């Protein structure tokens, strides 16, 4: 009947009558679209559910429901797709091709194959049973087949519930029974298996560890490192007593043993040593080694020191090569190390064996660990994970200026080309599945040498609001060296880093004193309202800007977005924040570059700019409002005076911790 009316109403459009012939539902003169269905669903669902449920979210719910409760069809399709038979293989094609191409009737060519029609029907029936919806084929008014009548109609025999319901219940019961049996077996066998594994591992260590140590000798005359520490949780099994062995292969780090090991007299140890933070805490050298010779870096203003210590010829050649690379990067004819800890960090990175934490105060060049890894071991891929947008922009600028090739993996990327030995990725992107897939693909083509996480302290300062930092141990997808860099990790927080990143013992830790003798800190009185606070901020800026050169910059750190926006408007300067609702990545990049090139020498910013920026000539920082966290605050003050010239940080606290409006 509908076809007849369609021909009458649309005599010039024969497609309309064809629609009524081939489709069950037609929207007047055209087929229904997904948007049409979404609008209808949204209209109806708003009244009953309280929100507009459209096609896309419904598909998520529907498919998840079907996978869990109506799995028969899914299993059937999977089996037909993946299982091959001999007959099909003999014919030179897969079972999937055979089923869906060959031996099909004329009717099946117009639609699905006949062997799936039954399963399509059963899928509908199974769905009706799970959802307690009355099946079709019952000659009753629409209001009598509502889901509320399901039990009544089923009980009086109006329709029969197929055996699939019983089968499902039986399967569920069977699965529950099987899980219980597996749990009981596991409970009984696990202690036995663990004991056997522990015994086997201990026997293997006792047998092979001396040979492994002998195959990896460590030089006798490594220099003294007074400020490096190590995790106290490192344990090793009992070894045969051998003073000669320990003398010959002095441990690279002090290890807290879980079982007794015969140690030689301390007078026979090499000068290379660590202090255990558990026994005496970190020790910081008051002065550099007497053999150190200061040399001022003309490029960055950072003084580097030449440390003369006897070591093996091979290591000396490697160190000389590293220094030549530094000289090339900094355009310095006589390059030297900024400190002993930087030198040892680089050498340990090149050794490429142990996990390592490098805690060098800002300005001592811990980023050289990343740069030299990319330059000196190009046959291995170095992955640098960057937690902040501003820090990523800073790396782009520095690597470009230093002519170090790199590749950045973004959320829109699909593969890692591997044409450069240095890969940059943000911490947020590194937490995505697409990164895991790309990294696995890369590992089949190239050797992954190390993963370096810069500003690693963010794990215990930002993980509460950044999901990507909550499970950073997931970054250990490839067996390789893991290196953590930071300028602000309290000694008592080292265990947190080790556990969060699942570092493998022995973990080597290098630490320097956090003191900056060239920085001046001034604590202002508190200001009871915003007007006075802003006026004092402006006075300090006007007072210092008079002596600024074209290179000098100023940063104003605020504690809230509200204060930041208001203060930037008051001072007529840009505002840098990581909040996506205020600025996107392109806007942040523009703000950063305009501050760098001097278009705006003054910038208001949140803690999003407090880590990683290494512009050397920041003369002044104003910290408006009482800081919320000490670690972030230390990072912010470390942005100034990186050229080792006098710089000043002012602290303008809130009145009784709260700032009131005038």
pLDDT in tens, 241-251: 333 332 333 33
Domain parsing of the chain, residue ranges: 2-166, 305-511, 519-652
Neighbours of 516 (CB within 10 A): 20
Bigger pLDDT: 329 or 284?
329
Helix (H/G/I), strand (E/B), else coil: 654: strand
Bigger pLDDT: 567 or 633?
567
Would you give the DSSP letter of residue 647? E
Question: Cβ distance 488 to 421 under 8 Å?
Answer: no
pLDDT score, position 292: 34
Bigger pLDDT: 639 or 647?
647
Neighbours of 259 (CB within 10 A): 10
pLDDT in tens, 581-611: 787 888 888 898 899 899 999 999 988 887 6
Is residue 73 predicted with pLDDT exceeding 60? no
Burial class (CB in 10 A: 0-12, 13-18, 19+), 335: buried
pLDDT score, position 123: 67
Is residue 349 predicted with pLDDT exceeding 90? yes
Spacing of C-alpha 72 from chain mean position = 38
Contacts of 377 by beta carbon, 8 Å cutoff, 6+ apart: 350, 352, 421, 449
- String of DSSP letters for 257-308: -SS------GGGS-S-----TTTT-----SS--TT-EEEE-TTT--EEEE--
Question: Cβ distance 629 to 461 under 8 Å?
Answer: yes
Bigger pLDDT: 552 or 193?
552
Euclidean distance between CA atoms 544 and 520, whole angstroms:
14
Please state the three-class secondary structure of 533-570 as a single string. HHHHHHHHHHHHHCCCCCCCEEEEEECCHHHHHHHHHH
Most confident residue range from 208-217, 218-227, 569-578? 569-578
* Mean pLDDT, rounded, of the chain: 73
pLDDT > 70: what percent of the chain?
68
pLDDT score, position 188: 74
Going from the C-alpha of 551 to that of each of 171, 372, 516, 555, the distances in angstroms are 74, 28, 21, 13
- Identify the CATH number of the domain defined by range 305-511: 3.40.50.300
H-helix or E-strand spanning residue 54: none
pLDDT classification of 469: cutoffs 50, 70, 90:
confident
Strand partners, 337: 305
Euclidean distance between CA atoms 208 and 61, whole angstroms:
55
pLDDT score, position 203: 66
CA atoms within 13 A on the CB side of 337: 25
Euclidean distance between CA atoms 424 and 386, whole angstroms:
7
pLDDT score, position 254: 28
Bigger pLDDT: 498 or 113?
498
Is residue 220 predicted with pLDDT exceeding 80? no
Phi, psi (degrees; rounded to nearest 5) at 184: -65, -45
pLDDT in tens, 34-43: 888 888 888 8
Strand partners, 423: 383, 407
pLDDT classification of 302: cutoffs 50, 70, 90:
very low
pLDDT classification of 172: cutoffs 50, 70, 90:
low
pLDDT score, position 599: 92
Bigger pLDDT: 217 or 284?
217
Q: Which of 11-25, 146-160, 296-310 has the lowest mean pLDDT?
A: 296-310
pLDDT score, position 15: 82
Q: What is the mean pLDDT of residues 553-574?
A: 92
At the fourth CATH level, which superfamily is domain 519-652? P-loop containing nucleotide triphosphate hydrolases (3.40.50.300)
Bigger pLDDT: 287 or 403?
403
Q: Which of 257-261, 401-405, 642-646 has the lowest mean pLDDT?
A: 257-261
> Do 519-652 and 305-511 fall under one CATH topology?
yes
Helix (H/G/I), strand (E/B), else coil: 10: coil
Is residue 256 predicted with pLDDT exceeding 60? no
H-helix or E-strand spanning residue 423: strand 422-426
Q: What is the mean pLDDT of residues 276-293?
A: 32
Please state the three-class secondary structure of 580-627 as a single string. CCCCCHHHHHHHHHHHHCCCCCEEEECHHHCCCCCCCCEEEEEEECCC
Euclidean distance between CA atoms 97 and 103, whole angstroms:
11
pLDDT in tens, 420-453: 999 999 988 998 889 999 999 999 999 999 999 9
The token duo for 483 is 């290196």
């Amino acid at each position: 009947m509908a076809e007849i009316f369609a021909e009458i109403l649309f005599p010039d459009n024969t497609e309309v009558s064809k629609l009524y012939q081939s489709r069950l539902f037609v929207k007047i003169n055209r087929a229904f679209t997904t948007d049409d269905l979404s609008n209808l669903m949204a209209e109806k669902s708003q009244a009953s559910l309280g929100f507009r449920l459209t096609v896309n979210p419904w598909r998520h719910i529907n498919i998840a429901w079907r996978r869990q409760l109506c799995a028969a069809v899914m299993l059937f399709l999977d089996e037909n797709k993946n299982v091959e038979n001999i007959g099909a293989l003999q014919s030179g094609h897969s079972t999937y091709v055979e089923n869906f191409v060959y031996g099909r009737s004329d009717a099946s060519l117009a639609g699905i194959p006949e062997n799936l029609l039954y399963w399509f029907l059963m899928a509908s029936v199974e769905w009706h049973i799970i959802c307690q919806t009355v099946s079709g084929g019952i000659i009753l008014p629409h209001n009598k087949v509502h889901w509320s009548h399901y039990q009544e109609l089923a009980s009086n025999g109006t329709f029969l519930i197929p055996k699939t319901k019983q089968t499902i219940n039986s399967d569920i019961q069977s699965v529950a029974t099987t899980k219980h049996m597996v749990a009981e077996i596991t409970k009984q066998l696990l202690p036995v298996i663990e004991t056997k594994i522990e015994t086997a591992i201990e026997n293997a260590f006792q047998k092979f560890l001396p040979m492994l140590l002998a195959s990896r000798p460590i030089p006798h005359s490594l220099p003294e490192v007074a400020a490096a520490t190590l995790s106290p949780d490192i344990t090793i099994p009992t070894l045969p007593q051998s003073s000669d062995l320990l003398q010959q292969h002095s441990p690279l780090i002090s290890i807290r043993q879980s079982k007794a090991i015969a140690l030689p007299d301390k007078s026979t140890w090499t000068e290379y040593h660590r202090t255990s933070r558990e026994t005496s805490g970190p020790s910081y050298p008051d002065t550099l080694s007497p053999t150190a010779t200061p040399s001022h870096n003309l490029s960055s203003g950072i003084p580097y020191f030449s440390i003369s210590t006897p070591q093996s010829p091979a290591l000396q050649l490697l160190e000389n090569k590293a220094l030549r690379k530094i000289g090339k990067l900094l355009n310095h004819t006589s390059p030297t190390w900024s400190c002993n800890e930087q030198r040892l960090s680089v050498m340990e990175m090149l050794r490429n064996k142990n996990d390592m934490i490098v805690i060098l105060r800002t300005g001592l060049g811990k980023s050289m660990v990343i740069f030299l890894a990319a330059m000196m071991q190009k046959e291995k891929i170095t992955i640098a994970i960057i937690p902040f947008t501003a820090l990523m922009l800073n790396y782009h600028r520095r690597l470009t200026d230093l002519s170090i090739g790199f590749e950045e993996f973004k959320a829109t990327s699909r593969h890692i080309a591997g044409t450069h030995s240095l890969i940059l990725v943000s911490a947020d992107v590194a937490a995505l599945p697409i990164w895991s897939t790309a990294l696995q693909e890369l590992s089949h083509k190239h050797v992954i040498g190390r993963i370096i996480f810069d500003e690693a302290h963010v794990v215990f300062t930002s993980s509460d609001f950044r999901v990507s930092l909550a499970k950073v141990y997931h970054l250990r997808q490839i067996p390789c060296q893991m290196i953590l860099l930071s300028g602000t990790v309290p000694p008592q927080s080292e265990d947190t880093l080790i556990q969060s990143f699942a570092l493998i013992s022995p973990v080597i830790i290098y630490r320097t004193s956090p003191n900056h003798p060239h920085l001046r800190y001034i604590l202002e009185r508190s200001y009871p309202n915003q007007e006075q606070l802003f006026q004092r901020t402006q006075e300090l800026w006007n007072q210092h800007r008079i002596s600024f050169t074209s290179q000098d910059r100023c940063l104003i750190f605020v504690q809230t977005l509200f204060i930041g926006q208001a203060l930037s408007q008051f001072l007529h300067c840009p505002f840098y924040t990581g909040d996506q609702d205020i600025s996107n990545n392109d806007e942040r990049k523009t703000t950063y570059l305009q501050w760098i090139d001097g278009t705006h020498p003054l910038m208001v910013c949140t803690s999003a700019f407090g880590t990683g920026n290494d512009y050397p000539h920041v003369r002044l920082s104003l910290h408006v409002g009482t800081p919320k966290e000490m670690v972030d605050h230390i990072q912010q003050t470390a942005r100034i005076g990186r050229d080792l010239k006098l710089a000043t940080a002012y602290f303008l606290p809130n009145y009784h911790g709260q700032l009131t409006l005038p």
